[in-house]
């Protein structure tokens, strides 16, 4: 029987103007549901895995709609707690060319921010699971979530699950000092750390030497030291770092590296004309979890993850709506974009 991958976090209501308008000029907003760990669960389900998403949502039509969206994509929602008055919201203003994308949060007092440890029976939630995924966004929400997140990773390790954590630092949600204090303890129960080129610096003060993330070029060799240091401050046996070279808000180069304590693996680099970069890191995390469990070769697992996340950034919305076959076509080198008939 196929075992389950469990993801824990917040799913939010995303409201965004059409046609790259600014919020100040928009009269119509598009409704989409998404959030770091929910995006991972959805992608894993579409790639053929048994995926479960755990959160807390209000008992109202917006909470129902979020659950319906996850169920439609094949995600198990049985352990979603219901309660509270509101779903978290974020407003997204898409950037273009030299104008960056911007996010405005309206997530205070959301249902999950008021969660208590009693809302989640981790023994039951993990009963048929082999993998647990969380991100640094979840404890950053505040309330009792730092405590709940720590309980979850401890129970996952106690029950023999592999634990992955995307550091996902959000400066609008907590300070670097708060992040370091909480995440330093949490990563002692993590097997796979996922980060981008800035997370290690923001959370642990670990920086790549002579690298400027705003320059449009990154030196991969400098991130080998970052990966080593992330392994040293944690109990992780593997560290993955996504490498985004931001040429503009419309065009990026996208690649990644993986370190297993002995070897460094570096992926091919994809030039991407962005449709929607939100969820790019989440789709990488899902692709890597899938790849590490599908392929015996770590280079192949990494290439799958990078191809999957490159594809995501051509798709509107938070979630990576692609199949394994579509990703494998990219891995095999079909970047033509020709019509498939």
* Residues with active-site annotation: 282
Nearest to 208 by CA among 217, 221, 195: 221
Cβ atoms of 142 and 105 within 8 Å: the answer is: no
Range 142-156 burial, b when 16+ CB lie within 10 A, else e: eebbbebbbebbbbb
Query: Would you state the torsion angle of the CA atoms of residues 33, 307, 49, 236, taken in this order, to the nearest 10 degrees?
Result: -100
Other beta carbons within 10 Å of 111: 25
Q: Are 335 and 310 in contact (CB under 8 A)?
A: no
- C-alpha 240/C-alpha 63 separation (Å) is 33
Contact 169, 193 (CB under 8 A): no
Other beta carbons less than 10 A from residue 185's beta carbon: 15
**7 CB-contact burial (10 Å; exposed 0-12 / middle 13-18 / buried 19+):** buried
Q: How far apart are CA 106 and CA 90, in angstroms?
A: 6
Question: How deeply is 238 buried, as exposed, middle or buried, from its count of CB atoms within 10 A (0-12, 13-18, 19+)?
Answer: buried
- Which of 13, 24, 195 shows the shortest CA–CA distance to 87? 13
Q: How far apart are CA 315 and CA 270, in angstroms?
A: 15
Contacts of 250 (CB under 8 A, 6+ apart): 95, 96, 97, 273, 274
Whole-number Å distance between alpha carbons of 273 and 263: 31
Rounded Cα distance between 77 and 93, Å, is 29
CA atoms of 153 and 178, how far apart (whole Å): 19
């Amino acid at each position: 029987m196929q075992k389950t991958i469990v993801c824990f976090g917040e799913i939010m209501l995303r409201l965004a103007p059409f046609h790259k308008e600014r919020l100040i000029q928009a009269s119509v907003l598009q409704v989409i549901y998404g959030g770091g760990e929910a995006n991972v669960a959805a992608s894993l389900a579409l790639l053929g895995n048994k995926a479960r998403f755990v959160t807390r949502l209000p008992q109202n039509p917006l909470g129902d709609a979020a659950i319906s969206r996850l169920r439609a994509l094949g995600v198990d929602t049985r352990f979603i707690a219901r309660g509270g008055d509101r779903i978290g919201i974020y407003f997204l203003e898409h950037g273009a060319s030299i104008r960056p994308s911007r996010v405005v949060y309206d997530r205070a007092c959301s249902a999950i921010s008021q969660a208590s440890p009693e809302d989640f029976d981790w023994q039951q939630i993990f009963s048929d699971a082999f993998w647990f995924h969380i991100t640094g966004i979840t404890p950053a929400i505040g309330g009792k979530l730092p405590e709940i997140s720590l309980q979850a990773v401890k129970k996952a390790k106690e029950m023999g699950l592999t634990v992955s954590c995307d550091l996902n630092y959000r400066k609008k949600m907590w300070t670097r000092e708060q992040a370091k204090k909480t995440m330093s303890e949490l990563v002692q129960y993590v097997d796979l750390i996922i980060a981008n080129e800035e997370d290690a610096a923001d959370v642990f003060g670990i920086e790549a030497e002579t690298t400027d993330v705003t320059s449009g070029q990154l030196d991969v060799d400098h991130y080998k030291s970052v990966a080593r240091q992330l392994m040293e401050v944690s109990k992780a046996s593997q560290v993955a770092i996504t490498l985004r070279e931001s040429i503009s808000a419309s065009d990026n180069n996208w690649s990644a590296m993986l370190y297993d304590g002995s070897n460094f693996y570096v992926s091919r680099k994809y030039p991407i004309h962005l449709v929607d970069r939100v969820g790019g890191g989440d789709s990488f995390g899902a692709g890597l979890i899938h790849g590490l469990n599908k392929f015996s070769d770590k280079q192949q697992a990494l290439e799958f993850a990078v191809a999957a996340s490159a594809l995501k950034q051509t798709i509107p919305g938070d979630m990576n709506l692609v199949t394994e076959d579509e990703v494998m076509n990219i891995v095999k080198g079909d970047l033509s974009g020709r019509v498939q008939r």
